[in-house]
Amino acid sequence: MLALGVRAGLQRPGSHVARAAKFFALTQVEAGVGCPLSMTHAAVPTLRVEPALAAEWEPRVLAGQAFIGMGMTERQGGSDVRANETEARPAGGREATLHGHKWFCSAPMSDAFLILAQAPGGLSCYLVPRASDGIVIERLKNTLGHRANASSEITLDGARGSLVGEEGRGVATIIEMVVNTRLDCVVGSAALMREAVAQATHHCAHRAAFGKLLAEQPLMRNVLADLCVESEAATLSAFRLARAFDEGDELRRVATAVLKYWVCKRTAAVAGEALECIGGNGYVETDSVLPRLYRESPLNSIWEGSSNVQCLDVLRALRREPDAAECFLAELEEPDRRRVERALAGADEEGARRLVETMAVALQASLLDRHGDPAVAEAFRAREPFGALGTLRAGLPLAAIVERHRPRPQAEDSTSRPR
Q: Give exposure, 134-165, as e/b (b: 16+ Cβ within 10 Å).
A: bbeeeeeeeeebbeebbbbbbbbeebbbbbbb
CA atoms within 13 A on the CB side of 171: 12
Residues 262 and 379: beta-carbon distance below 8 Å: no
- Candidates 8-16, 40-48, 63-71, 82-90: pick the segment binding ligand FAD (CB under 6 A): 63-71
Q: What's at 27, amino acid-wise?
A: T
- Candidates 43-51, 76-84, 220-228, 333-341: pick the segment binding ligand FAD (CB under 6 A): 76-84
Q: Establish if 77 lies at the interface with ligand FAD (CB under 6 A).
A: yes
Give the one residue of 78, 161, 188, 372 binding ligand FAD; rule: CB under 6 A.
Answer: 78
Q: CB of 342: closest distance to ligand FAD in angstroms?
A: 24
Minimum CB distance to ligand FAD smaller for 4 or for 312: 312
Q: Which residues pair with 151 in a beta bridge?
A: 106
Residues 134 and 161: beta-carbon distance below 8 Å: no
> CA–CA distance from 94 to each of 26, 63, 231 (Å)?
38, 27, 47
Q: Establish if 302 lies at the interface with ligand FAD (CB under 6 A).
A: yes
- Candidates 6-14, 73-81, 366-374, 398-406: pick the segment binding ligand FAD (CB under 6 A): 73-81
Q: Establish if 70 lies at the interface with ligand FAD (CB under 6 A).
A: yes
Q: Establish if 220 lies at the interface with ligand FAD (CB under 6 A).
A: no
Residue 275 phi/psi, 5-degree rounding, is: -60, -45
Q: Establish if 351 lies at the interface with ligand FAD (CB under 6 A).
A: no
Q: Establish if 72 lies at the interface with ligand FAD (CB under 6 A).
A: yes
Q: Establish if 217 lies at the interface with ligand FAD (CB under 6 A).
A: no
CA atoms within 13 A on the CB side of 52: 6
Residue 110 phi/psi, 5-degree rounding, is: -60, 160
Q: CB of 2: closest distance to ligand FAD in angstroms?
A: 16
Q: What's at 136, amino acid-wise?
A: V
Task: Give the C-alpha separation, 272 to 196, whole Å.
Answer: 9
- Strand 151-164 with 95-106, pairing: antiparallel
Q: What's at 105, amino acid-wise?
A: C
Residues 230 and 190: beta-carbon distance below 8 Å: no
Residue count of the chain: 419
Q: CB of 141: closest distance to ligand FAD in angstroms?
A: 6
Q: Establish if 101 lies at the interface with ligand FAD (CB under 6 A).
A: no
- Candidates 45-53, 66-74, 282-290, 358-366: pick the segment binding ligand FAD (CB under 6 A): 66-74
Minimum CB distance to ligand FAD smaller for 112 or for 229: 112
Q: Establish if 156 lies at the interface with ligand FAD (CB under 6 A).
A: no
Footprint of ligand FAD on residues 304-323 (CB under 6 A)? 306-309, 312
Give the one residue of 104, 339, 351, 408 binding ligand FAD; rule: CB under 6 A.
Answer: 104
Distance in Å from the first CA to the final CA of the chain:
32
State the helix-helix crossing angle for 218-246 and 398-405, rounded to 10 degrees: 50
Q: Establish if 79 lies at the interface with ligand FAD (CB under 6 A).
A: yes
Q: Residue 345, class by beta-carbon neighbours within 10 Å (0-12 exposed, 13-18 middle, 19+ buried)?
A: exposed
Give the one residue of 5, 34, 71, 165 binding ligand FAD; rule: CB under 6 A.
Answer: 71
Q: Establish if 180 lies at the interface with ligand FAD (CB under 6 A).
A: no
Q: CB of 78: closest distance to ligand FAD in angstroms?
A: 2
Task: Give the C-alpha separation, 117 to 232, whole Å.
Answer: 41
Give the one residue of 146, 240, 265, 406 binding ligand FAD; rule: CB under 6 A.
Answer: 146
Give the one residue of 27, 38, 97, 106 binding ligand FAD; rule: CB under 6 A.
Answer: 106
Minimum CB distance to ligand FAD smaller for 189 or for 235: 189
Give the one residue of 2, 37, 42, 105 binding ligand FAD; rule: CB under 6 A.
Answer: 105
Q: What share of the chain is helix, strand, coil (3-state, %, to 5)?
A: 55, 15, 30
Q: Establish if 173 lies at the interface with ligand FAD (CB under 6 A).
A: no
Minimum CB distance to ligand FAD smaller for 82 or for 393: 82
Question: Which stretches of the chain bind ligand FAD, using CB under 6 A?
Answer: 69-73, 77-79, 104-106, 143, 146, 151, 299, 302-303, 306-309, 312
